Amino acid sequence: MAYFKNEAQKANFVQLEEETLGLWEREKTFEYCVDRREAREKFVFVEGPPTANGRPHPGHILTRVVKDVVLRYKTMRGFYVERKAGWDTHGLPVEIEVEKELGTNSKREIEQYGIEKFNQRCKASVFRYEKEWVNATKRVGFWIDMDSPYITSDNEYIESVWWSLKEIWKKGLLYRGHKVVPYCPRCETTLSSHEVAQGYKEVDDLSIYVKFRLKQEKEQEPVFMLAWTTTPWTLFGNIALAVHPEHVYAKVKVKVNEKLEGGGGGKEKEEIFILAEARLDALEGEYKITERLRGKELEDKEYERLFDVPVVGESHKIITADFVTLEEGTGVVHIAPAFGEDDYGVCREKGLGFSQPVNSKGQFTGDVPSLEGVFVKDADKRIIEMLKQRGLLYKESTYLHPYPFCWRCGSPLLYYARESWFIGMKSLRDNLIANNEKINWYPTHLKYGRFGNFLESIEDWALSRERFWGTPLNIWICTGCGKEFCVGSIEELRDRAKNFVSSGLDLHRPYIDDVVLRCEECGGEMRRVKDVIDCWYDSGAAPFAQWHYPFENEEFKQNFPASFITEAIDQTRGWFYSLLAISTAIFDAAPYLNVLSLGHILDEKGVKMSKSKGNVVDITSIFNNEGADALRWYFFTTGPPWDDIRFSEPAIAERQKKFLNTLWNSYFFFVTYAGIDEFNPKEKEIPVEKRSAMDRWIMSRLNTLKKEVIGSLERFEIHLGARKIEDFVINDLSNWYIRRSRRRFWVTEENFDKDCAYLTLYEVLVSVCKLLAPFVPFITEHIYQNIVRVFPDEELESVHHCDYPSPDESLVEAKLEDSMDLVSKLVEAGRRARSDAGIKIRQPLKEVVVVCEKEKREEVGSLAGILKDELNVREVKFTDEGLKSEFVSAENYKQEEVDKETTLFLNISLDKRLIEEGLVRDLVRRIQGMRKDLDLEYTAKIRILYEGDEEVKEAIKTFSDYICAETLAVAIGEGKPSSSVSVKGEQIYEKNWRIGNKEVWLRVEAV
Ligand SMILES: [Zn+2]
Ligand SMILES: [Zn+2]
């Protein structure tokens, strides 16, 4: 009885994967895989929640399979690895999608539409593509519990977030501030610094040199301070000019062309400018320095305002500031406190006034009548025209620089003085840095590089958003006495509310806005601050909020900190940061111990895939064409997980052909012959040390491989682990072990050597299957089901329930591996020698002579048979240095260097018998080709007839036994039958061949 199911020679991977998914579903393989380790040590994973309001694209799938390979591996290594899915549901991205549907363009329009209806639409849209996400997640084989996910908009989740904010509030870290913050004029809300960091683009902005005239006596020649800016619109908020107190400034006479100043002519005249001496190359044409002075000598000089804009407080004088640099511009900095953080700070310090001529949509107010209602970034050209007309522009050019854009809607951000709620992260800087110390980063350079640098210059977290669909900020303020109160739970809300309705409780806006609290201070009414919070705070709260901690707290304590998280590199300033920030503020602890930062998916041209660029590949077509294993293998082997991947479907097909097909062929070879021989691995037991050198060698390689793969995976070098297995399967197993051992399986009678070969190949296949299971979970499950689970009494139901193979050091024979390595080098050298001499590999040769040290000779000696076969020579001789010169001078020896100590000499002289033998090998190859053309089974027997030149017939007679054995022929005879079929029939195939200069006719007939 055959134990193993027969397989098709060519695998149908897609079908195989779909069947495997069915098996997992029926047998609850995933659930059991997790549960059976419940008593074991935990390996804690936190899912970075995706949003399901867009379709999953290749980048999401990459993240999902990297998570999967690590979690499957850790499970097989014996850990208890729970996997709770999560969905990120709040925030601007969701609102923007709904706004597109509604066609609204401002907050006022949303309010007119109704916040209640608007938020209901947001809530509904969040799960629009949930089905696609669930399907893609299952199809790619990412095992995660999607039946009970955490959802950031659930009341319970919000309650945990509120609890955490209250903890922060109690520590005095949650405060309201007036600050210049990055602001999106379209979304009409502030952005946090980590959001800004994600949206920089290189842009060409106008840059202008503006002349500010110093106040002087009327008759004096005008003197201008020359300042430089890339944001002309901010000139309307100008309050001061800043110079560095210690730097040297020069007063220069400059030739200027009047034409520049907007009136005909083209006549040249001279003007006097003051700018930093180190920046004089900003001037064009000739100039003459008339005076040098230190910055502080300019302090307090007054200048004439550019535009007539109302200002509250003192203004329009020169101040000194240390932040003025000489790297660009003129060393004279235009200061507008409404539009710059440094500007705001220095004006407050110097007691200067303030001017805000721009409204919350980024448009000029009535303070600038000529530009009222114009969006500031659209006004630059008109402002330049206005300056030209008044002779206040020295020159203009464009300037390429990074400028921040809204990461969600793409609008240019403005720096803007706004009221906002902040978490005081600056004061926690040292704690953040200390907690980062406890984290292992992959790749390692991020720890002190991109991430570490970000922490060094951390800003307070601008937490509030003046928006609608988000976790409501849980702060109420008394309308009477101004007292502030932070609500930390639903119970607290109920206790303090004057009008709490508990049925159908929804903590979102607008309902929560109507809840009025009693002021404990004055008995007055407290109203909620209308803001919602940054959705990055929601996802950053996931470690505890997914467990509804502290309201139900047991799970959380066991699951903190996480052992492992992974997301794409853009999360260094997104989720990786928000997790650390919240965990540091509340627990002063690192929230995760290992973080793997992934590269992006680019298209074939190297451009990042994104919905807006329209270059996103539809992943379902990959599932239907190549399958999930091929996609996964492509992701894992293309490069380190932290490198970007240029996505290419042909490359996926290529990886499949190269690797998965080779794996399949090895497996197919085994089940085919094991079926014929009714081999049962359970009936035989032969210790490895009793087996042949070839068997011991592949077992040694296998155990070395196990050790290497585990080492790589422990360092999250998924690519190295995968490539090592690939190299083993293709080169060691398929191209060497199986190819070299084929004949051992072909012999028909039972013998010890055949048993050794079967046992060895079986053990290797089972181990490779387990090693590969986390990477390619489908094909490995399929193979496992057929060759392992077929013995149900002793074996686990799924390959994914098995332990990861650990190396058996006693089977590692380093010397044997070295010797085999040398043999394969000798084979390569021998082939080079043949090709140099123009002798093909099927032509047998007399001998090969290897000159090497005595020690090596003994090692390689036992493997001489392999060398003989591979090089197709009758004899392998070894000799030492002393006799080398003899061969060097002999004409019939071709020499090849193998390594420093080893040289190979190939005897290329031919005799009649060798020539006949070469001819026969050519014939055998053609007969095998004819078998293939007839689509004969591997094991089908044939009959051969031949006719041809005398030399050919003679050779066939001499080697007829050999030909029969090689081609599974039961008979071989001379002469054409009288009624010959001249074409390829059903089971008969006749053909004339030409081999070298000889003619031969062959007929192959299935028996
Ligand atoms: Zn925006
Ligand atoms: Zn009060």
3 state SS of 493: helix
pLDDT in tens, 314-358: 899 999 999 999 988 999 999 999 898 889 888 888 889 888 899
| CA 75 and chain centroid, separation | 22
- Among this protein's residues, is 611 annotated catalytic? yes
Q: What pTM was estimated for this model as a whole?
A: 0.80
Whole-number Cα distances in Å, 519 to 169, 482, 496, 529, 942:
18, 9, 8, 15, 99
Chain mean pLDDT for the chain: 91
Above 60 in pLDDT, residue 265?
Answer: no
The tokens for 460 are 């307070």
The tokens for 731 are 């080169």
Query: Which ligand minimizes its atom distance to the CA of 195?
Result: 1
- Among this protein's residues, is 87 annotated catalytic? no
End-to-end CA gap in the chain = 24
Going from the Cα of 191 to the center of ligand 1, the distance in angstroms, rounded, reads 9
Whole-number Cα distances in Å, 211 to 332, 352, 388:
11, 21, 10
Of 88, 531, 538, 629, which residue is the catalytic one? 88
Above 90 in pLDDT, residue 376?
Answer: yes
Going from the Cα of 101 to the center of ligand 1, the distance in angstroms, rounded, reads 16
Above 80 in pLDDT, residue 159?
Answer: yes
Residues pairing with 974 in the sheet: 946
User: Distance between CA atoms of 758 and 695, rounded to whole angstroms?
Assistant: 10
Position 274: which residue type? I
Query: Which ligand minimizes its atom distance to the CA of 518?
Result: 2
User: Distance between CA atoms of 785 and 641, rounded to whole angstroms?
Assistant: 30
Q: Is the dihedral of CA 406, 411, 416, 421 positive or negative?
A: negative
Whether 799 contacts 781, CB under 8 Å: yes
Above 70 in pLDDT, residue 260?
Answer: no
Above 50 in pLDDT, residue 261?
Answer: no
3 state SS of 517: strand
Of 259, 608, 657, 840, which residue is the catalytic one? 608
Going from the Cα of 494 to the center of ligand 2, the distance in angstroms, rounded, reads 18
- Among this protein's residues, is 900 annotated catalytic? no
Q: What whole-number percentage of the chain has pLDDT above 70?
A: 98
Of 356, 363, 546, 571, which residue is the catalytic one? 571
Above 70 in pLDDT, residue 393?
Answer: yes
- Among this protein's residues, is 690 annotated catalytic? no
Whole-number Cα distances in Å, 409 to 412, 533, 843, 859:
9, 18, 71, 69
- Among this protein's residues, is 538 annotated catalytic? no
Above 90 in pLDDT, residue 258?
Answer: no
- Among this protein's residues, is 443 annotated catalytic? no
Alpha helices (runs of H) in 747-813, residue ranges in sequence order:
752-772, 777-787
pLDDT in tens, 765-777: 999 999 999 999 9
pLDDT in tens, 460-486: 898 999 899 999 999 999 999 999 999
Of 24, 575, 664, 697, which residue is the catalytic one? 575
Going from the Cα of 476 to the center of ligand 2, the distance in angstroms, rounded, reads 10
User: Distance between CA atoms of 451 and 290, rounded to whole angstroms?
Assistant: 49
pLDDT at res. 399: 85
Whether 509 contacts 119, CB under 8 Å: yes
Of 79-88, 189-198, 339-348, 433-442, least confident by mean pLDDT is: 189-198
Going from the Cα of 518 to the center of ligand 2, the distance in angstroms, rounded, reads 8
- Among this protein's residues, is 447 annotated catalytic? no
Of 131, 269, 611, 840, which residue is the catalytic one? 611
pLDDT in tens, 406-431: 877 888 999 888 778 999 999 999 99
Interval 236-255 mean pLDDT: 94
Query: Which ligand minimizes its atom distance to the CA of 477?
Result: 2
Hey, how many other C-beta atoms are within 10 angstroms of the C-beta on 625? 15
Going from the Cα of 484 to the center of ligand 2, the distance in angstroms, rounded, reads 8
User: Distance between CA atoms of 800 and 515, rounded to whole angstroms?
Assistant: 52
Kindly report the backbone phi and psi dihedral angles of residue 291, in degrees, each rounded to the nearest multiple of 5, phi listed first.
-160, 150
User: Distance between CA atoms of 857 and 879, rounded to whole angstroms?
Assistant: 8
Which position has the higher pLDDT, 996 or 160?
A: 160
pLDDT in tens, 626-684: 999 999 999 999 999 999 999 999 999 999 999 999 999 999 999 999 999 999 999 98
